[in-house]
Amino acid sequence: MNGVVLIGHGSLHSDSGASMIRLAARLRERGVAPIAEAGFLNFSRPTIAEAVAKCVAAGATSVTVQPYFLIDGVYVQQDLPVDIAKVAAQFPDLTIRVAACLGFHEKLATIALERVQTVDPEPNTSNGTQAALLVMAHGTPLEYANEPVRRMTAWLHEKTRYSLAAAAYLDCNKPRIADAVDDLAAQGARKIVALPYFLHRGRHLRQDLPQLLAAARQRHPALTILEAPHLDYDLRLADVITDRLNEQLP
């Protein structure tokens, strides 16, 4: 019997992983995986080892690890394999597979579009205002791994038809979010809809992004900056996860 373990980053804010834990329950309810648990790389419990141990105790003879990450960055490519190797040593008879990260998926893009429309219900009509879309992501120093963010930005730009669009990063990559806001303003934007392209409401969403946007509003008092909700919980994320799992399972 195959079990599934969703693996997220984890946060000092203990409630930030609640959406992922709920999605593990949805996978069980839908019959996608009769055994499905959630675990974290850092800060939060259960750990990967604890989540896998629960699957084994429930009867799993194999486990598919689903990275609950938007991109295939350092955490997925470097940290996760180390943890999986440790788990494999604890359970030598267990077959462990690793699915692809969420990446770009049209259902994920549809969720992102709806988050934009939450604060700007009719993005196709700017009413004479030069409007811009800013997709704010964490970023990774593995440059090629940021491609899903760029692809998401292009997809949203096409659907919303804002005059301008940019992807920007909190860390590790350029343009930085502050620089992207300044650049959009320099290009004539009078309104920016900023989408936090994040799954969890951890420190970055609670502290870093609000501070960056507050500073941007001070630098550009004539600029309207609307902050959309982050991705958070949505049943369609279970569909995205199901597709990634099906790509991995034999």
Catalytic residues: 9
- Segment 216-220 long-range contacts (CB within 8 Å, at least 24 positions apart): 216/178, 216/181, 216/182, 219/181, 219/182, 220/181, 220/182, 220/185
Residues with Cβ within 8 Å of residue 210, at least 6 apart in sequence: 227
How far is Cα 70 from Cα 61, in angstroms, rounded to an integer?
Answer: 28
Q: Are 70 and 139 in contact (CB under 8 A)?
A: no
Cα–Cα distance for residue pair 197/137, rounded to 1 Å: 5
Q: Beta partners for 40?
A: 8, 47
